[in-house]
Amino acid sequence: MNAEATPLRLRTPPGAPFAFEIAVEVRGPRGFRVIEPGRGARSYALARAEQPDYLDLFEALARDFGARMPLARTPPPPRNGGPTLRPLLTEPVAPEILYGYGDPCVVRVGEGEWRLLVTSNDAPNAFPILASRDLVTWQLTGFVFPEGRAPAWALTGPNQADFWAPEMHRVADAYWLCFTARMQDRSLAIGLARSEGPDGPFNADEAPIVTGDVIDAHILVDARGAPWLVWKKDDNGVWPRKLAALLHREPARVNELFAAPEDQRTAVLALTLWPWAETLEPMEQFFVLQPLIEAATAEFTRFAGRLEKLGGRARGAEAAEIAAIARALRTRIHAQRLSADGRSLEGEPAVILENDQPWEAHLIEGVWITQEGGRYHLLYAGNDFSTAHYGIGAAVADAPTGPYRKSSEVLLSSSAEWWGPGHPSVAIGPDGLHHIFLHAFRPGVAGYKAFRALLAAPIRFEGGVISLDGSWLRRTCLGRERPA
């Protein structure tokens, strides 16, 4: 703790199954002193307020106070077989690329010519654009929004900005780009920008096209040539705050919602920290609440059932709050028609997908839809992106708005070589065949701002099913014979 500053002192409200006293250093480097009667006191210091530092803290709290061990510090579930992913980019090609190749959008922009756009988080230059003629060798050509050129509505600055998940598509005679950024009120919104060429300059609309904590936009041009916007309602970023606030006011609810002792202890730590955590910037707040999220989703179906029972017994404002949390446990993917010029939305949004598979847990996101064989093949990511439980699923429909039929098994999951494969895009390679492009972490280093590599695998659309051929990938390099 910083002896020169007065720490914020927090106590567990009466009624919780455990009681903690926590002193938090809120100025300068974070410091924590945690006391539990019968277990003594421990002090912890964070070098920074980044996710790896909080993972160190919660790993220590798991060891010292019996809380839940962070998933990011545990190996992935075992996987039998599966396709081999080919690494394409495993190092930054330029110093301006700070965080690697997260949420990669690979698009073919001409014969033998591709572009790659990636998430840039809070980097001063938003959304790197990389060019390649073989999908193996890439060079940085610029940025969608160089420093000082971001839309006026978008929040910028270190540890405040979040420029996520850019996608570029050829629509009519222009390149349309959709992206996520934070507004000045810290909420997430989706914007659109346009350019005559794939390397810019891009001109963004004066205002977002969708607001209200939304993320991961995708542009689909249907079989009739009509453009659609697809996006995720980011409720998984909303319910943890509501749950922490509820438990802080009603700490006796911990035993009703959490069965395992380590999850009960994790919940009590979270509700004790909540008066401080609610003042934090969105991403640091996520770091603080991530153990509570993992405690709630460890047995997601059972937790949702307990919450539903609790809501049935509650009355008044508490019942309404519990109902809002229960609704937000379902992540919904929406689709809506865009006007011909892409300046507005038409009609009403349709919910085309939501989390309902065990491996997805509390969220799905990062949708990409490919038309092939008269059908709409949808790829998506599920579970927590910053852990090895993240993966890719598949679904298919006969129309842009569905209904989509999901594959019964996860398409891609973590392996010993790569953790958290996610946020797919699809492009045709030099061989004339489709390939899936995705990001993944090196083992043990998953997390926000951690480096993500660009990986690829061949993909097939047969009989309404999406499949990957790992043996074919080992023999060839995106369709070209690999040297012996």
Residue 6, phi then psi, degrees to nearest 5: -95, 115
> H or E segment at 255?
helix 254-257
> H or E segment at 420?
strand 419-428
Work out the number of other CB atoms within 10 angstroms of the CB of residue 75: 12
Which residue bears the tokens 């410091």?
Answer: 31
What is the SS3 assignment for 296? Answer: helix
- State the DSSP string of 32-44: EEEEETTTEEEEE
Residues pairing with 108 in the sheet: 114
- State the DSSP string of 50-94: SHHHHHHHHHHHHHHH--PPPGGGSPPPP--S-PPPEEEE-S-SS
- State the DSSP string of 421-453: EEEEEEEE-TTSSEEEEEEEEPTT--STTS-BE
| Cα–Cα distance, 476 to 432 (Å, whole number) | 14
Work out the number of other CB atoms within 10 angstroms of the CB of residue 350: 16
- State the DSSP string of 135-178: SSS-EEEEEEE-TT-S-TTB--STTT--BEEEEEEEETTEEEEE
| Cα–Cα distance, 172 to 280 (Å, whole number) | 43
What is the set of domains in the chain, with CATH numbers? 8-75+237-328 (no CATH), 86-234+331-481 (2.115.10.20)
Cis upstream peptide for 104 (omega within 30°): no
Q: Calculate the dihedral angle through the C-alpha atoms of 234, 235, 241, 243, rounding to the nearest 10 degrees.
A: -160
Residues in the chain: 484
Residue 415, phi then psi, degrees to nearest 5: -130, 180
| Cα–Cα distance, 303 to 297 (Å, whole number) | 7
What is the SS3 assignment for 105? Answer: strand
Residue type, 33: R
| Cα–Cα distance, 22 to 194 (Å, whole number) | 50
| Rg (alpha carbons) of the chain, rounded to whole number | 23
Report the pLDDT value the prediction gives residue 481, as an integer from 0 to 100.
42
Q: What does the block give as tokens for 304?
A: 């949702």
Residue 55, phi then psi, degrees to nearest 5: -65, -40
Report the pLDDT value the prediction gives residue 473, as an integer from 0 to 100.
43
Report the pLDDT value the prediction gives residue 75, as an integer from 0 to 100.
82
CA distances 409 to 84, 369, 413, Å, are 17, 18, 10
| Cα–Cα distance, 132 to 142 (Å, whole number) | 13
CA angle 40, 46, 51 (to 5 degrees): 115
Report the pLDDT value the prediction gives residue 80, as an integer from 0 to 100.
55
Report the pLDDT value the prediction gives residue 5, as an integer from 0 to 100.
63
Give, for all 484 residues of the chain, the pLDDT tens digit.
544 568 999 999 999 999 999 999 988 889 999 999 988 999 999 999 999 999 999 999 999 999 999 999 988 776 655 667 999 999 999 999 999 999 999 999 999 999 999 999 999 999 999 999 999 999 999 999 999 999 999 999 999 999 999 999 999 889 999 999 999 999 999 999 999 999 999 999 999 999 999 999 999 999 999 999 999 999 999 999 999 999 999 999 999 999 999 999 999 999 999 999 999 999 999 999 999 999 999 999 999 999 999 999 999 999 999 999 999 999 999 999 999 999 999 999 999 999 999 999 999 999 999 999 899 999 999 999 999 999 999 999 999 999 999 998 899 999 989 999 999 999 999 989 999 999 999 998 989 999 999 999 999 998 778 888 654 444 444 554 443 2
Name which of 182, 174, 229, 223 is nearest 202 in CA terms.
Answer: 174
Report the pLDDT value the prediction gives residue 476, as an integer from 0 to 100.
45
Task: Round to the nearest angstrom and report the end-to-end CA distance of the chain.
Answer: 58
Work out the number of other CB atoms within 10 angstroms of the CB of residue 279: 11
